[in-house]
Homo-oligomer: A and B are copies of this chain.
Amino acid sequence: MNRSNGSPSDRSITRSGATLAASDFLQLNPADAPRGGMSDWLARQIRRAVAEGLLPPGSRLPATRVLADELGVSRGVVTEAYRRLTEDGHVEGRGRAGTVVLAAPLVRPPEDGLVEREHGGRGQAGRGPVGHRAEGRGTGERRAAARRAEEGGSTSEERALFGDPLDTGVFDALRAAPARVDLSPGLPDLAAFPRAAWLRAERAVLAGLVPADFGYGDPRGTPALRRAVARWLALNRGIAADPDEVLIVAGTAQALGLLALVLKDEGVTRVALEDPSSLGIRQHLRNSGLASPPVPVDERGVRVDALRATGARVALLTPAHQFPTGVVLDGVRRRELADWARDGGLIIEDDYDAEHRYDRPPVPALRSTLADHVAYAGSVSKLLAPALRVGWLLAPRRYRDALVDAKRFADLGNAALPQLVLAHLMESGELERHLRFLRRRHRGRRDAMIAALADRLPGAVVHGAAAGLHLTVTLEPGCDDVALAAAALERGVKVQPLSWHAQRPGRPGLVLGYAASTPSDIREGVSALGDLLR
């Protein structure tokens, strides 16, 4: 399987090659499966094969009928296993084109015990992870990039930029740096912002306002938006909430700041974080004077045993689509988390991009079943635009008055006009239409990025493709992802090193946003990364 050659014809051979291997190629032995758990076992084995690069993105899985015959199991067992892999975002059904591998898990399957993202040389004999097989390629350029950075080949701004990521302002500097292609994660397709619909809604809103609406408002937000958000969350996130429970905030950053204030008043000093997790969140907690003990994430989601071991009373989690790994918190972990919360834990649920699910409706928010234990934060940053600075916070009842006070003293409440325009877009169905449009467009861009990565970064393993606005790729151990990102910026391509988002040493990689770039920009950006690694 030659994946170093990037020509389209080779890739198609590679892809079809995987379909020939089937159970033998995957070294599947149904006798290993536990009784009554055949689907689960099969899904796990395929997941492991994907993780280890046996089934690279683009590979086609055997037809369910064929694999069922080979393994001597019912076809339903295979169908169920494929369904689970689809839910996890590792594969995707493409009708007559079959079931195709999308992305690998970033982390070991949970049965491996402790999570080691820097997993070298394990797995079936002779078949290391893709990053390992790519050993020898890319290192020259990586070293060259690192050398350029050391020798001052990059500008001082770039060096400062890729210095201590906990320096506040690192995102400002990265944003301000000029680049032809911006593959920063966290942005939806900004060119798709519904300008005409926004303006229409604003005209309607302005025509209907009474003078008092221009005055000082309810610090919790306008009643119209709180109603619209409650309805939106019921429809999209399975959350049953009264509009009175909704606090409108200036994005998730403010939600976190207000929570930090209120929790610190309660004596909280630490908020456990998934590791890896968003650097921005970690900077924010540090600024608030809160420690952030790291909790490993495996293929099922955050490790609740490890969370318990930290002793932290509060955890900030991304259950619907873990940032940046893309893992979806599974049912087992949800139950464990619920137990942890009922023992006195508070979950801050950062539901940052759950609506961007490509295969099926997103899993319900934790808040839907744990209203008394979850402070739920969402925003329009990934639905419409970060520049709108509108989000919402639904907190357990005992925190609500203090949060309203905190919001009042922060800014007396969000600006009224954008709230009312947004409420109009939500209630008229425009936002739902926009989201459907975005999902189609983002999915095309995700596929373009996966294809470009297979073509131009064959040594990289792709993770977290079922949802969201970004992919995470891991690179061979030893690769300096910060030097790579700095070198990429020199070539006009903005990406974020995975190590920025990790607290403990881990597999190097890149977090690559695809939603805000055109397919041709994505190809250009990924090609530049490939050149640097070659």
Q: Contact residues of A with B, CB < 8 Å?
A: 168-169, 171-172, 175-176, 182, 186-187, 189-191, 193, 195, 198-199, 202-203, 206-207, 209, 211-219, 249-251, 253-254, 257, 283-284, 287-288, 384-390, 404-405, 408-418, 516
Contacts and interface: CB of A to CB of B under 8 A. Distances in A.
B175 A387 contact: no
Contacts of A384: 214
Contacts of A171: 216
A387 B216 contact: yes
Kindly list the 8 A-B residue pairs having the minimum CB-CB distance in the complex, ordered from nearest.
Answer: A214-B385, A387-B416, A250-B411, A190-B211, A190-B214, A389-B415, A191-B211, A254-B411
A317 B195 CA distance: 42
Given A251-B412, A417-B387, A215 B190 contact: yes
16 contacts: A168-B408, A169-B405, A169-B408, A175-B215, A193-B214, A195-B206, A202-B202, A215-B387, A216-B387, A217-B386, A386-B412, A387-B416, A387-B417, A388-B415, A389-B411, A389-B412
Contact of A386 (B215, B253, B389): B215
Contacts of A219: 172
Contacts of A168: 405, 408-409
Contact of A215 (B187, B203, B212): B187
Contact of A415 (B169, B410, B418): B418
B213 A387 contact: yes
B408 A390 contact: no
Copies of this chain, count:
2
Nearest to A193: B214
A216 B405 contact: no
A388 B418 CA distance: 9
A212 B187 CA distance: 10
Most buried by B among A217, A251, A254, A386: A386
Contacts of A209: 195
Contacts of A195: 206-207, 209
A175 B215 CA distance: 10
Contact of A410 (B214, B257, B414): B257
A411 B251 contact: yes
A64 to B, nearest CB: 42
